[in-house]
Amino acid sequence: MRIALGVEYDGTRFHGWQLQDGVRTVQGVVEKALASVADHPLRVHCAGRTDAGVHAVEQVIHFDTHSQRLPKAWVLGSNANLPDDVNILWAQEMPDDSFHARFSAIGRCYRYFILNRNSRSALLAGRATWVHRPLDVEPMQIAANALLGTHDFSSYRALGCQAKSPVRTLHRLDVSRRGDLIELRVEANAFLHHMVRNLAGVLIAIGKGDADTGWAQDILEMKDRTRGGVTAPPDGLYFNRVNYPDQFVLPHIAERHPFTD
């Protein structure tokens, strides 16, 4: 059977999602915990890989197994074997002939948090990106609006990005402020490597007044990463939610967030 799970994690002490020799990864600890419940080695597949330091409110994964367990057993048994910076939120059996955590996804949502005040925060260290210079969210939103739609996002992906095509459809890029906390909500059909962090870096520069609102679109049209802005830190980035076709009903809970909702 194929089991889908929702996973949350604090990426601060991980070298990203994907398995790597000799370093601590989210995939590594999750597979080890699930294998202890399944009583056999297994391989998990995720909706979208995250980099070192990036968090997840609700990453979606799946694995295949012949072991018969109730959904509650997958959750409780795995969490009993996971470190305190990773947690299984839910488990659900899925049709193994049609569901795939990555390839069935039709949209992915990220949230990026910026702490905008004079002093850094001990409580949000590693969980929000600190910018001490005042940011004006109005020009940031104007610049963001110009990036919506289907474009070649070559200027907004990492130089080492391995995606076959740089074309993505950006459905949402909202900038909002609540007190000292600025939030970017970003939704697209899929994302390129470092795409959200590069978008955030450009919008932060515009919010500081270091560039005008047209700069974001100018960079887009160059289709050249070497002409782009600074990649924002991973601290404030959260993989928030995955969207699937209506035929796949999953118990999403990701609209909540631990320090904003």
Residue whose structure tokens are 């795995």: 78
For tokens 């909702």, the residue is 261
Q: Is 110 a known ligand-binding residue?
A: yes
Tell me the three state secondary structure of residue 57. Answer: strand
Q: Are strands 55-64 and 237-243 parallel, antiparallel or unpaired?
A: parallel
Q: Where in the chain does DSSP place strands (E)?
A: 2-9, 45-46, 55-64, 86-94, 107-116, 129-131, 149-152, 167-178, 181-188, 237-243
Q: How many whole angstroms separate alpha carbon 239 and alpha carbon 186? A: 10
Question: Quick one: pLDDT at residue 95?
Answer: 84
Q: What is the pLDDT of residues 95-127, one digit of tens each?
A: 878 999 999 999 999 999 999 999 999 999 999
Give me the pLDDT at residue 259, please. Answer: 59
What are the tokens at 198? 């590069």
The pTM of this model reads: 0.94
- Other Cβ atoms closer than 10 A to 181: 18
Active-site residue, from 10, 39, 51, 97 = 51
Task: Determine the residue type at 105.
Answer: A
The β-bridge partners of 88 are 7
- H or E element: which one contains 99? none
N residues, the chain? 261
Give the tens place of pLDDT for each residue, 72-100. Answer: 999 999 999 999 999 999 999 998 789 99
Whether pLDDT at 220 is above 80: yes
- Residue 51: both structure tokens together: 């980099």
Q: Helical H runs in 20-108?
A: 26-38, 71-79
Catalytic: 64? no
Domains along the sequence of the chain with CATH: 2-104 (3.30.70.580), 107-239 (3.30.70.660)
